[in-house]
Amino acid sequence: MDKWWKNGVAFSCTQCAKCCSARDDASYVYVNQGERQLMAKELQLPLATFTKRYARRAADGKYYLNFVDGHCIFLEDKKCIMHDIKPTQCRTWPFWEEAMASKAEYKKQVLDFCPGSNVDSPVVKADDIKKQINETEDAFFEV
Ligand code: SF4
Ligand code: SF4
């Protein structure tokens, strides 16, 4: 079945950092082992020390970045200090399965929230969207 986004979607991140803050009490930025390893290396820390200091493990066994004062611990002066190696889900948002499931879901989760989804933004092609959805799913299933 054709996806509603088959002709692409207008999107270009303005780096406003809204999505680095808790939304409706949700503050889950998943970080699998490969992602934690990259960030640990960036901070010149052993993986175990990084994980203990910057992440928490939820009941589902997955690790999430800590949030401080309502935003991700790596957001400083409205900028991500891990920008070049940020976790997959930060890099691929809003092209997640759940947000792209329907036009209505996209409106609720993205259009009504993210300034980068302005209709005047450049169009991201369907192939790129699909690739990012798959990357997000792959990253999510790794612990
Ligand atoms: S809310 Fe949208 S525009 Fe703002 S940082 Fe996140 S993705 Fe970019
Ligand atoms: S890792 Fe960076 S991009 Fe991701 S939520 Fe934290 S500050 Fe934002």
Summarize the confidence of residues 95-122 as an average pLDDT: 95
* SS3 at position 76: strand
pLDDT for 45-59, tens place per residue? 999 999 999 999 988
Mean pLDDT of the chain: 94
- Ligand 1 atom 2: residue of nearest CA: 114
Q: Residue 57 falls within a domain, yes or no?
A: yes
Q: Is the pLDDT of residue 23 over 90?
A: no
Domain that holds residue 38: 9-141
Q: Are 88 and 132 in contact (CB under 8 A)?
A: no
For 75-108, how does the pLDDT look when each residue is reduced to its tens digit (9 = 90+)? 999 999 999 999 999 999 999 999 999 999 999 9
Tens of pLDDT, residues 3-19: 999 999 999 999 999 99
**Does residue 51 lie within any of the structural domains?**
yes
What does the pLDDT read at residue 128?
A: 98
Within-domain flag for 1: no
Which residue's CA lies nearest to atom 8 of ligand 1?
Answer: 13
Q: Say if 71 falls within a structural domain.
A: yes
129 within some domain: yes
CA–CA distance, 3 with 102 (Å, rounded to integer): 8
Average pLDDT of span 106-133:
96
The three-class DSSP label of residue 108 is helix
Per the structure, how many domains does the chain have? 1
Residues with CB under 6 A from ligand 1: 13-19, 93, 114-116
Question: 2 lies in a domain?
Answer: no
Q: How far apart are CA 42 and CA 29, in angstroms?
A: 18
Three-state SS at 102 = coil
Smallest Cα–Cα separation from 111: which of 98, 94, 136?
Answer: 94
Question: Among residues 35, 139, 36, 143, which one has the least CA distance to residue 97?
Answer: 139
| Cβ pair 6, 125 in contact under 8 A | no
Q: Cα(91) to centroid of ligand 2, in Å?
A: 9
Domain-located, residue 4: no
